[in-house]
Amino acid sequence: MSKILVFGHQNPDTDAIGSSYAFAELSRLRGLDAQAVALGEPNEETAFALDYFGVKAPRVITSAKTEGADTVILTDHNEFQQSISDIRDVTILGVIDHHRVANFETESPLFMILEPVGSASSIVYRQFKAEKREISKATAGLLLSGLISDTLLLKSPTTHESDFAVATELAELAGVDLETYGLAMLKAGTNLAIKTADELIDIDAKTFELNGNNVRVAQVNTVDIAEVLARQAEIETAITKANAENGYSDFVFMITDIVNSNSEILALGQNIGKIEAAFDFELKNNHAFLAGAVSRKKQVVPQLTESFNK
115 scored as a contact of a copy of itself (CB under 8 A): yes
Q: Is 77 annotated as a binding residue?
A: no
261 vs 305, which CB is nearer to a copy of itself?
305
Q: Is 13 annotated as a binding residue?
A: yes
Q: Report how far residue 205's alpha carbon sits from residue 34's, in angstroms, rounded to the nearest whole number.
A: 27
Q: Report how far residue 125's alpha carbon sits from residue 122's, in angstroms, rounded to the nearest whole number.
A: 5
Q: Residue 298 class from Cβ within 10 Å (0-12 exposed, 13-18 middle, 19+ buried)?
A: middle
* Binding residue for a copy of itself, selected from 1, 56, 68, 130, defined by CB under 8 A: 130
103 scored as a contact of a copy of itself (CB under 8 A): yes
* Binding residue for a copy of itself, selected from 76, 297, 300, 308, defined by CB under 8 A: 297
Q: Residue 47 class from Cβ within 10 Å (0-12 exposed, 13-18 middle, 19+ buried)?
A: middle
161 scored as a contact of a copy of itself (CB under 8 A): no
- CA dihedral sign of residues 86, 36, 300, 193: negative
* Binding residue for a copy of itself, selected from 9, 77, 98, 287, defined by CB under 8 A: 98
The interface with a copy of itself within residues 14-73 (CB under 8 A) comprises none
Q: Is 160 annotated as a binding residue?
A: no
250 vs 257, which CB is nearer to a copy of itself?
250
Contact (Cβ atoms closer than 8 angstroms) between residue 125 and residue 108: no
Q: Whole-number minimum distance, CB 149 to a copy of itself, in Å?
A: 17
Task: Name the segment binding a copy of itself (CB under 8 A); options: 95-103, 219-227, 253-261, 272-280.
Answer: 95-103
* Binding residue for a copy of itself, selected from 29, 114, 183, 277, defined by CB under 8 A: 114
| H or E stretch covering 131 | none
110 scored as a contact of a copy of itself (CB under 8 A): yes
Q: Report how far residue 310's alpha carbon sits from residue 302's, in angstroms, rounded to the nearest whole number.
A: 13
Q: Whole-number minimum distance, CB 212 to a copy of itself, in Å?
A: 14
Q: Is 98 annotated as a binding residue?
A: yes
Q: What angle do CA 203, 78, 88 make, to 5 degrees?
A: 105
Q: Report how far residue 37's alpha carbon sits from residue 124's, in angstroms, rounded to the nearest whole number.
A: 16
Amino acid occupying residue 271:
N
101 scored as a contact of a copy of itself (CB under 8 A): yes
Residue ranges of the binding site for Mn(2+): 9, 13, 15, 76, 98, 150
